[in-house]
């Protein structure tokens, strides 16, 4: 009785061994010396993005919590005090002179003062912020939907990404933080440009005067200290071409996981 499966198993093992051996002998010579295993690992990001997008409805909302759930201590990630002198001058004046430029591939480029943004319809949401490091905090955010702003400027048909340019330099080279999301994320109902946190003016540690909230991605996507927004067809020519400051350091552009 045991003979048949054993024969099957032996034949199977023999063919596996042959196959693996053949692959090694035949394939190894063909792997170029500069074969980039990082590229292979990076392919998982594409699989994750396509799979997550495929199984999640486009308008599915991130869970919204209640006031009782607010975190007593909301940790600030990334920069907490930009050293840029221009930024500091704006901050001293309560950002009265700050203006958000919205341009790039849009029909009607324009800029907004903080007061103008606050005059637009707002959305308030209590959501969970997930840092790439692993911790989560719950905060209340009020701001204007990015979709509202995009409707005002009219994206060009070629536009695919929204680029956020920030005031904070991340290292001594002076390269400033930047981020990008695609239009799917930009038009999501919970994607807002927040100017209030927990019922108060957005603190500098959390990105004053304006930060992005994209509740279905990790914290590093949610650019703080936003100075300028541009729509673009692609980001290959921007920074190191990966779509964001941390992406240029090796982090995934798709931060839904």
Partner 1 sequence: MTILLMSGLQIFNAHPALYWGSASNFDHPLVAICGFPDWATLAGSQWLAMGRRRHFFFAWLFVANGIVYALLAVLGGHLRSDLWPSRQDLRRIGHSIRQHLRLRFPKGAEARRYNVLQKLTYLVVLVLLCPLIVLAGLAMSPQLDAGYPWLLWFFDGRQSARTIHFVCAFSLLAFVVVHLVMVVVSGLKNNIRSMITGWYDIGEEHG
Query: What residues make contact with partner 1 under the rule CB under 8 A?
Result: 2, 5-6, 9-10, 13, 38, 40-45, 47-48, 52, 55-57, 60-63, 65, 69, 71-73, 75, 128, 130-138, 215-218, 246, 249-252, 256-257
**Closer residue to partner 1, CB minimum distance, 167 or 212:** 212
Least distance from partner 1 to the Cβ atom of residue 149, Å: 22
Angle, CA of 247, 175 and 87, to the nearest 5°:
115
Whole-number Å distance between alpha carbons of 48 and 11: 36
**Closer residue to partner 1, CB minimum distance, 104 or 185:** 185
Per DSSP, 171 falls in state: S
Contacts of 81 (CB under 8 A, 6+ apart): 204, 205
Least distance from partner 1 to the Cβ atom of residue 154, Å: 28
Contacts of 31 (CB under 8 A, 6+ apart): none
**Closer residue to partner 1, CB minimum distance, 117 or 192:** 192
Least distance from partner 1 to the Cβ atom of residue 217, Å: 6
Contacts of 112 (CB under 8 A, 6+ apart): 99, 100, 102, 149
**Closer residue to partner 1, CB minimum distance, 26 or 250:** 250
Whole-number Å distance between alpha carbons of 225 and 150: 19
Least distance from partner 1 to the Cβ atom of residue 13, Å: 7
């Amino acid at each position: 009785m045991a003979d048949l499966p054993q024969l099957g198993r032996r034949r199977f093992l023999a063919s596996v061994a042959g196959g693996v051996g053949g692959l090694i002998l035949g394939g190894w010579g063909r792997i170029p010396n500069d074969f980039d295993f990082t590229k292979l690992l990076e392919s998982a990001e594409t699989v994750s993005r396509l799979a997550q997008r495929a199984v999640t409805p486009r308008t599915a909302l991130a869970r919204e919590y209640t006031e009782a759930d607010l975190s007593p201590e909301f940790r600030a990630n990334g920069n907490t005090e930009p050293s840029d002198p221009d930024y500091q001058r704006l901050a001293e004046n309560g950002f009265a002179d700050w203006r958000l430029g919205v341009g790039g591939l849009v029909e009607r480029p324009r800029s907004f003062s903080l007061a103008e943004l606050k005059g637009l319809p707002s959305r308030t949401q209590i959501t969970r912020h997930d840092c790439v490091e692993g911790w989560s905090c719950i905060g209340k955010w009020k701001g204007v939907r990015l979709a509202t702003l995009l409707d005002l400027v009219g994206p060009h048909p070629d536009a695919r990404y929204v680029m956020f340019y920030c005031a904070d330099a991340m290292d001594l080279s002076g390269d400033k933080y930047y981020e990008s999301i695609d239009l799917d994320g930009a038009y999501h109902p919970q994607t807002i440009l927040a100017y209030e946190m927990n019922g108060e003016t957005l603190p500098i540690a959390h990105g004053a005067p304006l930060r992005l909230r994209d509740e279905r991605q990790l914290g590093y996507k949610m650019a703080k200290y936003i100075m300028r927004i541009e729509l673009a067809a692609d980001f290959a020519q921007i920074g190191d071409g990966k779509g964001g400051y941390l992406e240029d350091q090796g982090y995934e552009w798709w931060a839904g996981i």
